[in-house]
């Protein structure tokens, strides 16, 4: 296994290694839906939490960025990114106020998923004399946030229009339950339901004279299929910038397309197991969200079938196998994490293998920005 150097010194492990060429290839695939399906792309910041990568996504054609938290939003706005969707229902008046401040110089789209929460937003907006832009969140089957498609969307849309405080311009959903799909056909079916939950609700609202010009969908397993439905205007993949072992297990990406790995060191060798310095604080204990069953263990080798991490404690990763005695003490192993998004949030830096062969260090700027 190759060694990695940064400024002529070996990189200390565990460390995040990001392959720029593979990341750009993944971004080209993501941006491909713009041309193929004439939809915009608004990637989710939660995966990479990097200002440099967000700016690269915008340079490659993204229309804006999606965030999950107010502190992520502030970080992007402070760094000149001026079109963000806050894909989380805000209820804290202080948080709402902090983002309202930016609406004078940037496009900040807020999201609502009940009359009660819309009312909170309206009360804050009235205090500040603002008409903030909002999109309705619709539940397409994940059963997390969101009003139900059709009648509940219409009721909420009518309520918002009647009050005439919030500027309702769109609707969005996230089919995260696609992560529990067992087959590609099941993923395609979920993508269809995702798109139709939005499009049918839009039709109903339009019949009542309410237009919702922005119709946004997307998870990494579903965005390519959901983008093909006429009337969808935007997709929001997050994980697709890197991919990970879960996406490989789902058949969404191949192992050699995964751009992000964790570099670790073999620290102990026993007859039937290897111990590496990447445990749950380097790889997480994630086996996949929403009932996903496609991964074994807590991370896997870059090379298909070579090994996977069978057990983790905080600083130790254990590979229980008798077929790995060719791997030496102190050898470096590159691990594909099960779920890239929470793994990134454990590190201060990416070590980026640039296309020119150099290794650079990029900050995980949004690390810990969870509020
Ligand atoms: C609202 C919303 N949109 C988009 C995404 C991106 O999903 P993925 O990482 O599967 O592409 C997420 C991820 O959790 C999300 O919660």
What is the tens place of the pLDDT at every residue in 205-250?
999 999 999 999 999 999 999 999 999 999 999 999 999 999 999 9
Q: How far is the CA of 253 from the centre of ligand 1 (A)?
A: 17
Q: How far is the CA of 305 from the centre of ligand 1 (A)?
A: 29
Specify the residue with its C-alpha closest to ligand 1, atom 15.
174
pLDDT at residue 320, as a whole number: 96
Region 190-205 average pLDDT? 98
- The backbone region for 12, taken as left when phi is positive above 0, alpha when psi lies in -120 to 50, beta otherwise, is beta
Distance CA 306, CA 137 (A): 42
Q: Which fold has domain 21-241?
A: TIM Barrel (3.20.20)
Q: Has residue 67 got a pLDDT over 60?
A: yes
User: Which segment of 190-194, 253-257, 321-325 scores lowest on mean pLDDT?
Assistant: 321-325
Q: Has residue 195 got a pLDDT over 90?
A: yes
pLDDT at residue 240, as a whole number: 98
**What is the percent of the chain where pLDDT is above 90?**
93
- pLDDT tier at 2, thresholds 50, 70, 90: low
pLDDT at residue 324, as a whole number: 83
Q: How far is the CA of 46 from the centre of ligand 1 (A)?
A: 8
What is the tens place of the pLDDT at every residue in 267-308?
999 999 999 999 999 999 998 766 677 899 999 988 877 889
Could you tell me the two tokens for 157? 């849309």
pLDDT at residue 305, as a whole number: 77
Distance CA 3, CA 227 (A): 41
Q: Where are the domains of the chain?
A: 5-16+246-363, 21-241
pLDDT at residue 312, as a whole number: 98
pLDDT at residue 291, as a whole number: 66
- pLDDT tier at 339, thresholds 50, 70, 90: very high
What is the tens place of the pLDDT at every residue in 36-56?
999 999 999 999 999 999 999
Angle between helix 93-100 and helix 70-78 axes, rounded to 10 deg? 20
pLDDT at residue 41, as a whole number: 98
- The backbone region for 212, taken as left when phi is positive above 0, alpha when psi lies in -120 to 50, beta otherwise, is beta
In CATH, the number for domain 5-16+246-363 is 2.40.37.20
Could you tell me the two tokens for 204? 């109903």
pLDDT at residue 288, as a whole number: 76
pLDDT at residue 302, as a whole number: 84
Question: In DSSP terms, which residues pair with 274 in a beta bridge?
Answer: 269, 319
User: Which SS3 state, helix, strand or coil, does residue 161 take?
Assistant: helix
Specify the residue with its C-alpha closest to ligand 1, atom 6.
238
What is the tens place of the pLDDT at every residue in 139-187?
999 999 999 999 999 999 999 999 999 999 999 999 999 999 999 999 9
**Ligand 1 atom at minimal distance to the Cα of residue 341:** 9
Question: What 3 state SS string does 196-224 have?
Answer: HHHHHHHHHHHHCCCCCCEEEECCCCCHH
> Which residues are near ligand 1 (CB < 6 Å)?
44, 47, 66, 87, 174, 176, 218-220, 236-240
**Ligand 1 atom at minimal distance to the Cα of residue 173:** 1
Specify the residue with its C-alpha closest to ligand 1, atom 14.
176
Distance CA 163, CA 157 (A): 10
Q: How far is the CA of 7 from the centre of ligand 1 (A)?
A: 35
Could you tell me the two tokens for 123? 């009360």
Could you tell me the two tokens for 5? 């150097």
The residue to which tokens 């009359």 are assigned: 115
Q: Has residue 370 got a pLDDT over 90?
A: yes
* CB neighbourhood size of 324 (10 A): 17
Sequence-ordered list of residues with C-beta below 8 angstroms from that of 151, at least 6 positions apart, any chain = 204
Q: How far is the CA of 265 from the centre of ligand 1 (A)?
A: 32
pLDDT at residue 21, as a whole number: 98
The residue to which tokens 């999109």 are assigned: 135
Region 341-350 average pLDDT? 98
DSSP designation for 138 = B
Specify the residue with its C-alpha closest to ligand 1, atom 16.
174
Region 21-35 average pLDDT? 97
Q: How far is the CA of 341 from the centre of ligand 1 (A)?
A: 10
Q: Which of 27, 44, 142 has the most ligand 1 atoms within 8 A of CB, as the residue to mutate?
A: 44
Residue 156 near residue 118 (C-beta atoms within 8 A):
yes
- pLDDT tier at 1, thresholds 50, 70, 90: low
The torsion angles phi and psi of 120, rounded to 5 degrees, stand at: -60, -45
**Ligand 1 atom at minimal distance to the Cα of residue 172:** 1
The residue to which tokens 């691990």 are assigned: 335
């Amino acid at each position: 296994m190759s060694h990695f150097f940064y400024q002529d010194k070996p990189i200390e492990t565990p460390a995040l290694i990001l392959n720029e060429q593979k990341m750009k290839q993944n971004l080209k695939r993501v941006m491909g839906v713009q041309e193929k399906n004439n939809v915009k792309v608004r990637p989710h910041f939660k995966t990479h939490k990097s200002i440099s990568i967000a700016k690269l996504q915008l340079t490659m054609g993204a229309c804006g960025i999606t965030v999950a938290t107010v502190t992520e939003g502030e970080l992007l706005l402070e760094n000149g990114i001026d079109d963000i969707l806050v894909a989380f229902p805000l209820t804290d008046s202080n948080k709402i106020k902090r983002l309202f401040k930016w609406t004078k110089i940037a496009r900040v789209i807020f999201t609502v998923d009940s009359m009660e929460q819309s009312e909170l937003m309206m009360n804050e907006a009235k205090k500040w004399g603002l008409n903030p832009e909002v999109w309705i969140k619709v539940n397409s089957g994940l059963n997390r946030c969101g009003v139900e498609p059709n009648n509940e969307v219409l009721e909420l849309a009518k309520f918002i229009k009647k009050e005439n405080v919030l500027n309702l311009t769109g609707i969005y959903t996230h089919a995260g339950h696609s992560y529990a799909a067992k087959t590609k056909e099941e993923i395609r079916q979920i993508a269809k339901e995702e798109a139709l939950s939005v499009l049918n609700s839009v039709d109903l609202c339009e019949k009542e004279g309410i237009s919702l010009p922005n119709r946004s969908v997307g998870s990494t397993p579903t965005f390519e299929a959901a983008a093909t439905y006429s009337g969808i205007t935007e997709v929001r993949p997050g994980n697709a910038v890197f991919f990970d072992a879960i996406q490989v297990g789902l058949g969404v990406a191949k192992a050699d397309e995964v751009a992000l790995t964790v570099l670790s060191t073999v620290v102990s060798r026993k007859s039937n197991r290897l111990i590496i310095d990447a445990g749950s604080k380097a790889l997480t204990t994630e086996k996949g969200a929403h009932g996903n069953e496609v991964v074994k263990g807590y991370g896997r080798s870059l090379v298909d079938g070579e090994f996977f991490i069978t057990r983790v404690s905080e600083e130790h990763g254990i590979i229980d196998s008798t077929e790995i005695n060719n791997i030496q003490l102190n050898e470096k192993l590159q691990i594909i994490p099960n779920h890239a998004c929470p793994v990134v949030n454990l590190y201060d830096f990416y070590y980026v293998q640039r296309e020119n062969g150099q290794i650079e260090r990029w900050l995980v700027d949004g690390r810990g920005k969870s509020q």
